[in-house]
């Protein structure tokens, strides 16, 4: 076989992979239950289908269920850098779904319940109620349960998104086809994810609008606040970081040189990465990590545990020194796991892997 024949053979293999990948997406989107949040294929550098850069006023309407009215892609903002609209939407829907699960179980006085989101992992919740909860008026219970569940939905959804990044670091694939390590902890993900849960909490508190309509409005307003830029600027920003934050341009050949490990575990907020030189003098606008203080205020106590069933569990449990019967406790184990991941990244890409530096713009 000549060199040319070998190259043609490789192209055919890749083309076939794309066909299978696209077919799988169609089947997956058609089979998912509308009761659970749906997987959205995020825009990431080196994505097999290319990087879409929509105009900010053409991202359509938010829809929990699959709809042609919803458009996703990567936008660039002066105050939050790159934002993956698909990630924002999926994060919001995760929060809404978890909130509904929490609210239903609280109103049924369940002390232990579990749920799944998108990944196979099971989330287990243990809830302690106020001593006099059974004596509360039903309307008061509904009001408090709603607010408490919104906070739980936002916080637990954010936990699931951090867990997703950790799983993909070790090779997990949401599609079951291509490992997603190249997009794990990419520079736009932590902020986009947290922002989505934050907007979801606001949307769920809006008594005048449906969740989808409230999210559509909030996304538009937030992008304006963050000083969203035209698609041409987003493309320029992507070109600016090409070759330094990442190299290559086609999935298997992409090498991510930079990773953003700021998920809010240290200071309670996520600070976005800005591309130097795109919006001169712009200041980043951090996004605050949710907490569960409102539960304490109302006399509730809650713990969340994760029981992974993904094959990546073995690698993760070795790092955490857990046996197969134990569960992941995010508050205890996430910092340890994140430290190990950062160590691996530094060993692979060097000490500047988690710094948004460019050669012409040292920070």
Domain-wise residue ranges, the chain: 37-349
β-strands 122-128, 301-307 pairing: antiparallel
pLDDT of residue 199: 98
Distance (Å, rounded) from C-alpha 191 to C-alpha 91?
11
- Taking a C-beta distance cutoff of 8 angstroms, is the pair 126, 303 a contact? yes
Q: H or E stretch including 287?
A: strand 287-288
**Residue 114 contacts by C-beta under 8 Å, 6 or more apart in sequence?**
122, 123, 124, 125
Per the model's pLDDT, the better-predicted residue between 178 and 190 turns out to be: 190
Q: 174 vs 57, which has greater pLDDT?
A: 57
Number of C-beta neighbours around residue 277 at 10 A? 12
pLDDT of residue 31: 36
End-to-end C-alpha distance for the chain, whole angstroms: 50
Predicted TM-score (pTM) of this structure: 0.88
Q: pLDDT confidence of 37, banded at 50, 70, 90?
A: confident
Three-class SS state of 305? strand
- List the single range of 49-58, 135-144, 257-266 with lowest mean pLDDT: 49-58
Could you give the residue ranges of the DSSP H alpha helices within 242-324?
293-297, 313-320
Burial 35-60 (b: 16+ CB within 10 A, else e): ebbbbbbbbbbbbeeeebbbebeebb
Residue 132 has φ and ψ, to the nearest 5°, of: -105, 20
Question: Which of 78-87, 120-129, 162-171, 354-363 comes out lowest in average pLDDT?
Answer: 354-363
Q: Could you give the CA distance from residue 356 to residue 326 in angstroms, rounded to a whole number?
A: 37
User: Looking at residues 44-50, what average pLDDT do you find?
Assistant: 68
d(CA 152, CA 125) in angstroms, rounded, equals: 10
Per-residue pLDDT band at 8 (split at 50, 70, 90): very low
DSSP 300: -
| Whether the Cβ atoms of residue 234 and residue 82 lie closer than 8 Å to each other | yes
For the record, the structure tokens of 195 come out as: 């922002």
Q: How far apart are CA 253 and CA 274, in angstroms?
A: 25
Residue 361 pLDDT class (50, 70, 90 cuts): low
**Phi/psi of residue 19, each to 5°?**
-60, -45
Phi, psi of 163 (to 5 degrees): -60, -40
Locus of tokens 């969740």: 211
Residue 110 phi/psi, 5-degree rounding, is -80, 130
Which DSSP helix (H) or strand (E) runs through 221? helix 211-225
In contact, 84 and 192? CB cutoff 8 Å: yes
């Amino acid at each position: 076989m000549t060199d040319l024949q070998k190259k043609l053979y490789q192209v055919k293999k890749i083309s076939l992979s794309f066909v299978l990948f696209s077919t799988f997406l169609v089947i997956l989107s058609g089979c998912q239950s509308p009761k659970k949040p749906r997987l959205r294929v995020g825009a990431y550098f080196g994505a097999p289908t290319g990087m879409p850069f929509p105009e900010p006023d053409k991202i359509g309407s938010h829809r929990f269920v699959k709809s042609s009215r919803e458009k996703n892609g990567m936008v660039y903002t002066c105050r939050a850098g790159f934002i993956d609209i698909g990630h924002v939407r999926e994060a919001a829907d995760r929060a809404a779904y978890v909130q509904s699960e929490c609210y239903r179980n609280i109103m049924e006085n369940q002390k232990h319940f579990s749920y799944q989101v998108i990944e196979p992992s099971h989330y287990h919740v243990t809830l302690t109620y106020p001593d006099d909860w059974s004596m509360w008026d039903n309307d008061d219970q509904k009001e408090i349960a709603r607010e408490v569940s919104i906070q739980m939905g936002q916080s637990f959804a954010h936990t699931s998104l951090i867990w997703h990044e950790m799983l993909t670091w070790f090779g997990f694939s949401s599609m079951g086809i291509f490992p997603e390590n190249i997009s794990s902890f990419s520079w736009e993900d932590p902020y986009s994810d947290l922002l989505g849960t934050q907007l979801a909490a606001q949307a769920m508190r809006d008594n005048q609008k449906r969740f989808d309509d409230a999210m559509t409005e909030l996304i538009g307003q937030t992008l304006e606040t963050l000083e969203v830029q035209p698609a041409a600027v987003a493309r320029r920003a992507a070109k600016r970081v090409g070759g330094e934050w990442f190299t290559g341009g086609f999935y298997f050949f992409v090498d991510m040189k930079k990773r953003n490990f700021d998920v809010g575990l240290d200071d309670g907020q996520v600070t976005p990465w800005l591309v130097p030189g795109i919006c001169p003098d712009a200041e980043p606008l951090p996004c605050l990590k949710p907490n569960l203080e409102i539960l304490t205020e109302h006399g509730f106590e809650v713990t969340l545990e994760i029981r992974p069933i993904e094959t990546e569990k073995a690698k993760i449990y070795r790092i955490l020194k857990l046996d197969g019967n134990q569960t992941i406790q995010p508050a205890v184990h996430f910092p340890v796991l994140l430290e190990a991941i950062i160590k691996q990244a530094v060993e692979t890409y060097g000490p500047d892997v988690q710094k948004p530096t460019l050669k012409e713009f040292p920070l």
